[in-house]
Amino acid sequence: MSCRGVFFAIDDKTVETLRKMKKSDIVEYVQENIEEVYFEEFEHQVAEIDKAWDAIQRAFSESELNPDKGSYPSNLIILGGEILYGLEEKEDDYIITLKNPAEVTDIYNFLSGLNKSTFKELYFKIDKDKYGFDVDEQDFEYTWTLLSGTIDFWMNSSNKKLSVIFTVDQ
């Protein structure tokens, strides 16, 4: 698996569809009806963050892949929100988390006020052993570039009152 993280801005109808389906069907639905369709038809509702999702989550949650660590709304960006898939032991192939429109607005407001030097301080507090990669200037620049590149996505999603799902295959 590639472990590449992607955000998708979705409407209320899609949220309800996801919430109503059996957990065992969610990944296939996301792959076939959101990933495939949005990359081709709704590119403006997609934000790719590649493998930077791991460092972003850890920077905002005390080096942990745990949305209960850190503070709101920064700990919500990646793994926070409603966990649609990936919480249970047998769900180790994919993670899908949902942020509602109010949370999306809070994330946008937070990110629009975040500057590079503040994020750099948080990034360099990541525990290298927990992260499993070098915590260095090159990885910081990669992570910051991808995170800061999502701000327009969050703004547009907030303005349109859309929910956002974060997806990553493992």
Cβ–Cβ under 8 Å, residues 81 and 167: no
% of the chain residues with pLDDT over 90 = 88
Give the tens place of pLDDT for each residue, 110-129.
999 999 999 999 999 999 99
Give the integer Cα–Cα distance in Å for 15 and 27: 14
**pLDDT value for 141:** 98
**pLDDT value for 2:** 73
Whole-structure pTM value: 0.94
**pLDDT value for 91:** 79
Asked whether the predicted pLDDT for residue 1 surpasses 70, the reply is no
Cβ–Cβ under 8 Å, residues 27 and 94: yes
**pLDDT value for 92:** 79
Give the tens place of pLDDT for each residue, 67-114.
899 999 999 999 999 999 987 778 778 999 999 999 999 999 999 999
Cβ–Cβ under 8 Å, residues 142 and 93: no
Number of domains in the chain: 1
Answer with the residue of higher pLDDT: 170 or 156: 156
Tell the burial category of 46 from Cβ atoms under 10 Å away from its Cβ (0-12, 13-18, 19+). middle
CATH number for the domain including 137? 3.40.1760.10
CB-based contacts of 158: which residues, under 8 Å, 6+ apart?
101, 104, 105, 107, 108
DSSP H or E stretch at residue 142: helix 137-148
Tokens 């793994």 correspond to 79
**pLDDT value for 83:** 95
Q: Which domain holds residue 117?
A: 5-169
